[in-house]
Amino acid sequence: MEVTFRRLVEEDLPQLHRWLNEPGVVRWWEGDDVSWEAVVRDHWTDPDAYVEHWIALVDGREVGWIQCYAAADAAEDPDEPEEAQAWLALGVDTTAAGIDYLVGDPVDRGRGVGSAVIRAFVDQVVFGLHPGWTQVCASPYVANEASWRALGRAGFSHRADVDGGDGPCRLMVRDREPPAT
């Protein structure tokens, strides 16, 4: 399975809107506005320049969306939930990144696609393009077992459970591998 990424472009917004409204996805984004206007605002015209939006491809086929950002920037953003602040309070590096992701089509779930995408994204984009980022974190809802298990298969370890505002979340962390000597 070849996993690649490309930056989100405006033409991707209809597909992202469909993915965010797919029942298996929307249940984990409950409380978030996934209307067309919100998708455009949050993923295209969002003033938070520190967030990078990407499309994940497996063997050349679009399978999902993934974003990354500096956790310290998110912790300072008054419009963001206090989740990133909780990460830092739990000892996450101030040089950590955060990621959020989704696998859009239900046929791609439960087959290892999510963990392959996460692993490749961390290697190629998070650590590959951002040499200053020392860790990467994600905190799916504790009830979203498939998501935190995918993170575990992608090399993340459970750090702690945190309050996600809408329910408990499982903070998962992966450290950058030390350089080969």
pLDDT of 180: 67
Tokens coding 44: 């295209």
The pair phi, psi for residue 131, each rounded to 5°, is: -60, -20
pLDDT of 27: 87
Report CA torsion sign: 138, 140, 142, 146.
negative
Whether residue 42 is predicted with pLDDT greater than 90 in this model: the reply is no
Question: Which CATH superfamily is 3-175 part of?
Answer: Gcn5-related N-acetyltransferase (GNAT) (3.40.630.30)
Question: pLDDT over 90 for what percent of the chain?
Answer: 63
Whether residue 21 is predicted with pLDDT greater than 70 in this model: the reply is yes
pLDDT of 77: 63
* More confident position, 160 or 180: 160
Rounded Cα gap, residues 179 and 173, in angstroms: 19
Give the model confidence (pLDDT) of 115-134 as tens digits: 999 999 999 999 999 999 99
Average pLDDT of 37-41? 87
Average pLDDT of 20-49? 82
pTM: 0.91
Rounded Cα gap, residues 170 and 162, in angstroms: 6
- Per the CB < 8 A criterion, the answer to whether 56 and 78 are in contact is no
Domain residue limits, the chain: 3-175
Give the model confidence (pLDDT) of 49-94 as tens digits: 778 999 999 999 999 999 999 887 766 665 555 666 777 788 888 8
Question: pLDDT over 70 for what percent of the chain?
Answer: 89
When mean pLDDT is compared across 32-36, 42-46, 56-60, the lowest value belongs to 42-46
Average pLDDT of 108-118? 95
For every residue of 46-115, which 3-state class applies, written as one string? CCCCCCEEEEEEECCEEEEEEEEEEHHHHHHCCCCCCHHHHHHHCCCCCCEEEEEEEECCHHHCCCCHHH
Average pLDDT of 142-152? 95
Tokens coding 126: 């998070």
Tokens coding 28: 């984990």
